[in-house]
Structure 1
Amino acid sequence: MLAPTVGAEAAEAVAGEEAWSVHMQNTNVLQGHTKIRSPYYGTNSLSQAPQMRQTVSLDLLLGLRLWSGAEAHLDGMMWEGFGMSNALGMAGFPNGEAFRKGTASPNENISRAFIRQSIGFGSEMEDSPSSSLFLKGRQHVSRLTFTLGRFGAKDIFDSNAYANDARTQFMNWSLMANGAWDYPADSLGFTTGGAAELYLHDWVLRYGFFQVPTVSNGISLDPHIWKAWAQVVELERKHKIGSHPGAVRFLVYANRANMGSFQQTLNNPLRPADITDSRNYRIKYGICLNADQEIATGVGIFTRLGWSDGRSEPWSFTDVDSSASFGISAKGTAWDRPNDTLAIACIVNSISKVHAAFLRQGGTGILVGDGRLSYGAEKIIETYYDFAVRGWLHVAFDYQFAVNPAYNRDRGPVHIFGARLHWEF
């Protein structure tokens, strides 16, 4: 559940440089699943009966150039609706627009409010295109960029050309971000912090320091920033194979929060297992690999691989200790629809042995917990076709098939069908 980072140009200053911008986006998702085999279910289970749910989001994004190299951005967001089973029942949840804090009536939030300052060095310049979070202008190829305020860690880290934004690309949580990165965010997908990025031609080094929620999947952020924090480092290498662009990104992270320990919880004879009894400030860490590559004009492949230590409860994102995904995306040039997209991807999510033992003893996580468990890796296939009605209006049809939802071989499989309407300007 991430807000998008795309938009349309609003106003330009002299010489093609934007002094300010206004952007809007709206995304409507209708998604449902078939009846699933379910000999039992728990508090965090996907409904065994067929179900259909709708989500709606609307963003108004404002940008303002403050001084040379500095921009301020504000994102006012409205959302409404619920994910299937209240966004529970699968670690790789099928709808990235299903905020974990669902609402039956429209709710509002300032999702982003930040300042970005770039300091250039060297004489080589490049164009900076207009988007909802960037003002159009010129910038140094070699530069140091600082971002401070409230925004999404995913705005800066773990980007991917073909699997990054649930409003325009794949919808599954495990395809819009690396499932094994417990990336810092409140239940709406945003947090407060700062990031520094060093750009040296084809290399980019990024570092971020962020707040984490007070409780798992919480909306409020822990104010004890020296005890509770998330740090992330990412190294990106951009390249070309022939004329086809690509990139490889290596990410490491460490989070410290008032997290529960799976083993300490299991050592307690209380059943069902209650992770809150073992909560203490402890560190969780992991590594992630992310790559995308165009292989022909308009056709690209991508992959994400991720691992975390799997000893502590998930705190911000989802219940995944290791994840692997791979996919291919193609523009519709071959069938005279160059602005359409056809894509397919597969995901394999898994958890550590002690994490599985915790779920087997009735434990629950952010999204999963059937009361019992016959463990199996969660396997998902997603495919979608995005139809460009106009340059600013898109309609997409999505299908997902999941085996062992929530890592449980006793439940499922499940067929998931969805439709998405998205416009922006």
Structure 2
Amino acid sequence: MTRKIYLLLLLSMICTFFGATAFAQKAGSGSDQIASFASPIDDLPTEGTLFGLPVNIHGQTTYINQRYNNFTSSYSGENSLSSLKSMSYTWSGTLFFGARLAPNTDIYFNPEVVSGVPFSDLVGLGGFSNGEATKAAGLNAKFYSARAFLRQTINQEGEKVVLENEANQITQTVSSNRVVVTAGQFSTLDIFDDSRYAKDPRIQFMNWGNMTYLAYDYAADARGYSTGLAGEWYLSNWVMRASRMLAPKSPNGRDLNWQIFNTYGDQIEVERQHNIADLPGKVSVLAYRNRMILARFQDATNYVVANNAQGTQAINNVRTNYQYKTGVGINGEQALTKDLGIYGRAFTSDGHTETMSFTEADNSISVGMGLNGTSWSRPKDTIGISMMQNGLSSYRKNYLQSGGVSYFIGDYAGPGQAISYRPERIGEVYYNATVIKNVLAGLNFQHINNPAYNAARGPVNILSFRIHAEF
């Protein structure tokens, strides 16, 4: 890490600390409320007016350091996770600006800065160990726009609901029956597959398989953001969502393709919220359909065999036609007490085509729990425990076993060294402690069996340290 990055990190932490200390006035959630695992940070009076318009401003900074020791590996290939002792880090800083142009019309802008070095240049795993790693591109800090969008709320008859001041949300009273339209630059995951217990790698589980369904190949650029249009229809305890988002020009690319009628990612989700013994829960079903020029694994396998092209990314040679890629999944969560909740996700994609935007997985399942520290007089502390299993379709597996190499995975290292396929299994546990108001420090441990679906490598044990602050 260069001296410049150290200085940026130090300045960000100092500004966040003093900003949080100066603004922190409100108390946390009362004992009669269900504990929130979305953020352990107190609500802050960061709203005001500018030129007569209601505005708010929030910010966050997160540093994650990850390490693992040497692990067993019979062989390594072009896209293998290094079997030697390694260290990885990411640092991000985000400002969240919002303004209310009209009573139900808001605009938001999120400039972001990121630096970091992922393990093995971000190859060698299906479920990567750090949700921030996809944004990192080296030691030098990169500044960019993460979000710039407009949100329009159309209220209908129903009970009044108060949406509290938070990042990308100015305090607002809405109807329980309403339509919300979001247009501009944002992440598909800002709208879809929300979870109280497993969503944000900055403050919850770090693994990609706990950010969302690992097999959900959602439309995004290489940093995880896109541009598009999303609609949400709230009807009491039901929510229906749909969107069309821009896809990248090339798989996992940085630049987006603006031909939204030719290349896109569509998704639709239906969610039902409920209460069991006055404890909240919900169940949602999500489906997606992508369209862009993608390689089919059967064509890539045929190419490897016909051209003796083992050890190459043959998918690049057969990426010639528009393809559709689809998938469907289910997500459920339930609070068991005011301090304890559980969740589960399961997803499957068709598996015929290569990854468009996310990672190498065609089916995935994850289960876990979240607990806050009320019982040991640390109500702002949180614990999370999860288990994940990720799998490949027969088409992707055959391509890898024939000697092909994909974008993130492919351990082929010569004749007789093709991948020995097994599902990738990951256990993850974290503890977050509130150090001072609005600043937390946490430890995270991940045990990964069959990294990149290869039984000849691993297991890998990754220990992580995290510090996160908000204002």
Q: 1:296 aligns with which of 327, 334, 337?
A: 337
Which amino acid in the other structure matches residue 415 of structure 1? N
Q: CA separation of 1:397/1:11 partners in 2, compared to 1, >3 Å: closer, same or farther?
A: closer
2:98 paired with 1:52: no
In the superposition, the TM-score normalised over structure 2's length comes to 0.87
1:282-317: CA deviation from partner (whole Å, max 9, x where unpaired) = 000000111111001110000000000000001100
Note the 1:412-423 alignment, pairs <5 A.
412-423=458-469
Count of residue correspondences: 419
Would you tell me which structure has more helix in proportion to its own residues? 2
2:400 paired with 1:359: yes
1:159-185: CA deviation from partner (whole Å, max 9, x where unpaired) = 111000000100000011101110111
RMSD: 1.6
Note the 1:12-51 alignment, pairs <5 A.
12=47, 19-51=54-86
SS in 1 for 2:133: coil
Name stretches of at least 5 consecutive residues in structure 2 with no aligned partner. 1-37, 413-417
SS in 1 for 2:331: strand
Instruction: Determine the structure 2 residue equivalent to 1:263.
Output: 298
Whether contact under 8 Å (2:301, 2:404) holds in the other structure is no
Identical counterparts, % of pairs: 35
Whether contact under 8 Å (1:46, 1:89) holds in the other structure is yes
1:344-366: CA deviation from partner (whole Å, max 9, x where unpaired) = 10000000111011112332333
Q: Give the deviation of 1:373 after TM superposition.
A: 0.5
Deviating 4+ runs (over 3 angstroms)? 5-14
2:420 paired with 1:379: no
Whether contact under 8 Å (1:384, 1:396) holds in the other structure is yes
Q: Give the deviation of 1:391 after TM superposition.
A: 3.1
Note the 1:25-424 alignment, pairs <5 A.
25-99=60-134, 101-268=136-303, 269-270=306-307, 271-272=309-310, 274-279=314-319, 280-371=321-412, 372-424=418-470
SS in 1 for 2:259: coil
How far apart in 2 are the matches of 1:59 and 1:221?
22
How far apart in 2 are the matches of 1:129 and 1:368?
43
SS in 2 for 1:314: coil
Whether contact under 8 Å (2:47, 2:57) holds in the other structure is no
Whether contact under 8 Å (1:202, 1:237) holds in the other structure is yes
How far apart in 1 are the matches of 2:442 and 2:149?
31
SS in 2 for 1:219: coil
Whether contact under 8 Å (2:57, 2:95) holds in the other structure is yes
Instruction: Determine the structure 1 residue equivalent to 2:30.
Output: none
Whether contact under 8 Å (1:93, 1:173) holds in the other structure is yes
Whether contact under 8 Å (1:18, 1:137) holds in the other structure is no
How far apart in 2 are the matches of 1:100 and 1:107?
9
How far apart in 2 are the matches of 1:409 and 1:219?
32
Whether contact under 8 Å (2:114, 2:135) holds in the other structure is no
SS in 1 for 2:395: helix
Which amino acid in the other structure matches residue 384 of structure 1? Y
Structure whose CA Rg is larger = 2
Whether contact under 8 Å (2:248, 2:256) holds in the other structure is yes
How far apart in 1 are the matches of 2:135 and 2:60?
20
1:98-147: CA deviation from partner (whole Å, max 9, x where unpaired) = 12552220011101000000000104211011111111121111000000
How far apart in 1 are the matches of 2:249 and 2:225?
14
Whether contact under 8 Å (1:11, 1:19) holds in the other structure is no
Whether contact under 8 Å (1:401, 1:413) holds in the other structure is yes
